[in-house]
């Protein structure tokens, strides 16, 4: 009993720490325009490929742009696009899965077979193809990642609805004459949110990596908008001359993905332990 209690409180502390770190990164990205030492898009022919200095903390790239400012602005793109994408796929997938599970029949079969087929493709291959065809841009890259992203939540939500549908409290809610929407949202959703949230929290890092990867390939966020993947891709050509132009966004990517991945693990540990209490 005591051991379990210890483990629980330790998990909660870890969750709070990483929630704090993720929050800090998000705050940094929100206030990026205020924190950036220079204009992230201003080119300067006098300061090309300059090593880190007081004026340019992370140095400059081949157009003389301040890398520190660009890394800060890139945090906005990475964090916000990943969180927005996870939120969108979460809502879309969960709603579709819940409706499929509740109504069953042909609609259910159609949604689930579509999910099966989408999952038969390697996820990044489909994303690369979709983003490549749509021809770049942040929104298209997010769309490309979202094409398969929703299936996770749809499958989970459907399975949960099927499991909970016959519970006494659900029948009770039906007998009171509530509408379907009200039953799904008020009675079922609170009881099935745990696994969905765990899934969503572990997906943020994955989506971040995916969007950065597409941008690196030139089919995601494009210049001059600052984004870590495309910054690394651009600076790779002159790696010998200005390694900081690659290392700074690389470090930022690793740090951010790690924090969000670890946060996902913590959420899973806390909810799993409390779920099996």
Partner 1 sequence: MEKYIAKRLLHLAGILIAISFLTFLLMYLAPGDAAVKKLNAQGIAVSQEVLDKTRADMGLDRPFLVQYGDWAWKALRGDLGSSYKDSTSVAGKLGKAMGHTALLALGSLALSLLVSLPLAMLTAVKRDSVPDYILRFFSFVANSLPNFLISVLLMYFLCVKARLLPVVADKNFKGLLLPALALSIPMTGRFLRQFRAEILEQLGKSYVGGARSRGVKERYILVRNVLHNASISILTVVGLSVGTLFGGSVVVETIFRWPGLGKLAMDAITNRDYPVIQGFVLFAAVVYVLVNLLTDVAYHWIDPRVRQE
Residues within the interface to partner 1 (CB under 8 A): 113, 116-118, 120-130, 132-135, 205, 209, 212-213, 216-219, 229, 232-233, 236, 239-240, 243, 246-247, 250, 253-254, 257-258, 261-262
Question: Residue 155 CB: number of other CB atoms within 10 A?
Answer: 20
Least CB distance from residue 236 to partner 1, whole Å? Answer: 6
Give the nearer residue to partner 1 in terms of CB position, either 99 or 232. 232
CB 235 within 8 A of CB 64: no
Residue 158 near residue 108, CB atoms below 8 Å: yes
Closest to partner 1 by CB, 44 vs 123, is 123
CB of 128 to partner 1, least distance (A): 6
Supply the DSSP symbol for 277.
-
- What's the closest the beta carbon of residue 234 comes to partner 1, in angstroms? 11
DSSP per-residue letters across 154-172: HHHHHHHHHHHTTSHHHHH
Q: Which is nearer to partner 1, 1 or 125 (CB)?
A: 125
**Smallest distance from partner 1 to CB 172, Å:** 39
CB 264 within 8 A of CB 203: yes
Q: Nearest approach, Cβ of 149 to partner 1 (angstroms)?
A: 14
CB of 80 to partner 1, least distance (A): 18
Rounded CA separation 82/62 (Å):
28
Nearest CB to partner 1, comparing residues 147 and 188 = 147
Q: Looking at beta carbons only, is 154 or 192 nearer to partner 1?
A: 154
The helix/strand/coil state of 239 is coil
- For partner 1, which is the closer residue by CB, 40 or 210? 210
Where is 43: in which H helix or E strand? none
User: Which are the contacts of 42, defined by CB distance < 8 A and separation ≥ 6?
Assistant: 65, 66
Say how far apart CA 179 and CA 199 lie, in whole Å.
28
Q: Which residue has the tokens 């942040």?
A: 138
């Amino acid at each position: 009993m005591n051991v379990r209690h210890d483990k629980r409180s330790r998990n909660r502390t870890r969750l709070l720490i990483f929630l704090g770190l993720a929050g800090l990164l998000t705050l940094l990205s929100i206030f990026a325009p205020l924190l950036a030492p220079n204009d992230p898009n201003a080119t300067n022919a006098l300061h090309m490929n300059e090593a880190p200095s007081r004026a340019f903390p992370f140095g400059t790239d081949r157009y003389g742009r301040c890398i520190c400012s660009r890394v800060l602005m890139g945090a906005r793109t990475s964090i916000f696009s990943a969180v927005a994408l996870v939120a969108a796929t979460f809502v879309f997938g969960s709603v579709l899965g819940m409706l499929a599970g509740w109504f069953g029949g042909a609609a259910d079969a159609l949604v689930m077979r579509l999910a099966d087929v989408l999952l038969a493709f390697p996820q990044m291959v489909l994303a690369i193809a979709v983003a490549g065809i749509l021809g770049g841009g942040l929104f298209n890259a997010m769309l490309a990642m979202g094409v398969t992203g929703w299936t996770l939540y749809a499958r989970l939500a459907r399975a949960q609805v099927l499991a909970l549908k016959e519970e006494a409290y659900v029948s009770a809610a039906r007998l009171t004459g509530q509408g379907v929407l009200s039953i799904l949202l008020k009675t079922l959703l609170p009881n099935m949110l745990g696994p969905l949230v765990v899934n969503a929290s572990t997906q943020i890092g994955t989506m971040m990596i995916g969007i950065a990867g597409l941008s690196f390939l030139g089919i995601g966020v494009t210049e001059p908008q600052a984004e870590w993947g495309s910054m690394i891709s651009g600076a790779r050509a002159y790696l010998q001359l200005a390694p900081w132009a690659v290392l700074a966004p690389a470090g930022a990517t690793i740090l951010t993905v790690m924090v969000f991945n670890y946060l996902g693990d913590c959420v899973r540990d806390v909810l799993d332990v409390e779920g099996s209490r």
